[in-house]
Structure 1
Amino acid sequence: MLRIANEERPWVEILPMQGATIGELTLSMQQYPVQQGTLFTINYHNELGRVWIAEQCWQRWCEGLIGTANRSAIDPELLYGIAEWGLAPLLQASDATLCQNEPPTSCSNLPHQLALHIKWTVEEHEFHSIIFTWPTGFLRNIVGELSAERQQIYPAPPVVVPVYLGWCQLTLIELESIEIGMGVRIHCFGD
């Protein structure tokens, strides 16, 4: 069964089921396969947050730029510059900064966890990230313009689908775009 952290619940409500593209970032709430990654510390108005990047993405980025992804073989200043360049779209969208005094660490993401997945591309390298313990203002800065876009007008009325846990309301366009592995927001009976 999928779990969701309390701090991510508001983003489930804000983001459309299919996700959203804001500038260079593509945001979606989804379960990400368990794998190794690299964790970076970000500073947003003196509050710290973390961004996890899949190890494959980070290795390809480092190997493409300097020929190695071995952190012990890379000068810390160079590693900081490489990380800042790779994270630039995320940092610029939110006015956050990468913490230079906090070196990146290796860690795995959580299984069965619904998380805010953010994707972007730099120099033809695609980055996949999950964010942890982000200040609310950081995400509001990124997705603030979404609330105005949220109201979409469809020519057909929504379809109400009963399910054993509750109910959900989808437009025909949303219903036809559902694929295996995608989530559907379900409301409990009585809500």
Structure 2
Amino acid sequence: MIAWKKPAAAALLLTLAACAQPAPPVTQTVMDPYANAAGGALYQGDLAGGTLGAEATPQYFNNTVGNTVLFAANQTALTSEARTILARQAQWLNTHTGFNAVVQGHAEETGTREYNLALGARRAGAVQEYLIAQGVSPDRVRTLSFGKERPREVCSDEACYAQNRRAVTVVSATGAGS
């Protein structure tokens, strides 16, 4: 058996007691993807000295400009209503050059997965072509097709199908995962 000396035993107990203390909380700084190192907005207009305000946000784009256009069944042709929405999108994107766009193409649940992926891609491509024709730089607009995989509405009637035949433009600040 080991004979413990009082100072060694006390040191051991103090060491064990120190280890039993909870670690101090770890703090983590989360960077706002829309802010620069100084805390200001990371929009090109702001960097040039202008103040863009609330209209320079994805929320404004979605809610005020409009991010969704609808299509007729099995069609990729843009309706006059779709062209009106896309003209507003192009104007916003041309004004807010610190943003990129991903156009997501969607289809209704009827038809095969392959057919609907191709249809969604053609719809997204039609929107992309329109935006580019309106002056948006081609390197700022990408396309992605979800086909029938991400419906807005789930039911088997024309009202649902009509909401799922769409293209959605998603904007994000340049350098923020776009």
Same fold by TM-score greater than 0.5 = no
Structure having the higher strand fraction is 1
Structure having the higher helix fraction is 2
